[in-house]
């Protein structure tokens, strides 16, 4: 089982480490990362393995949202299936 994690917001020091720390805290393994910085807008998409999570996926989603809100970033964690079903036949 994999989830897609997206981070969008104003670029600043430490976003990557903050998000990956939170992933580690939930025992989510980061599989792939792509990121771009357009002017000063940071946009990162991570594919994480959630089969070994130490909490419920909904709990991780909630924690990431809280983290994002506290740092002024928009962070979403969504099950990979939703993207696959929408964009792949």
**Strand ranges, E, within the chain:** 2-10, 29-38, 41-49, 73-79
Q: Specify whether the CB–CB gap between 59 and 50 falls below 8 A.
A: no
Q: By CB under 8 A, tell whether 15 contacts other proteins.
A: no
Q: By CB under 8 A, tell whether 40 contacts other proteins.
A: no
Nearest approach in angstroms of CB 67 to other proteins is 15
- In degrees and rounded to multiples of 5, residue 87 shows phi and psi of -115, -5
Q: By CB under 8 A, tell whether 54 contacts other proteins.
A: no
Nearest CA to 57 among 21, 18, 3? 3
Nearest approach in angstroms of CB 18 to other proteins is 20
Binding site for other proteins (CB under 8 A): 4, 6, 32, 34, 36, 43, 45, 47, 57-58, 61-62, 76-87
């Amino acid at each position: 089982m994999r989830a897609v994690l997206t981070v969008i917001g104003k670029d600043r020091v430490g976003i990557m480490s903050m998000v990956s720390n939170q992933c580690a805290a939930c025992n989510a393994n980061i599989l792939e990362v792509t990121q771009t910085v357009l002017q000063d807008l940071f946009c990162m998409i991570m594919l994480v393995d959630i089969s070994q999570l130490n909490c419920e996926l909904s709990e991780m989603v909630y924690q990431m949202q809280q983290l994002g809100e506290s740092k002024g970033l928009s962070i979403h964690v969504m099950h990979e299936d939703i993207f696959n079903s929408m964009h792949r036949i």
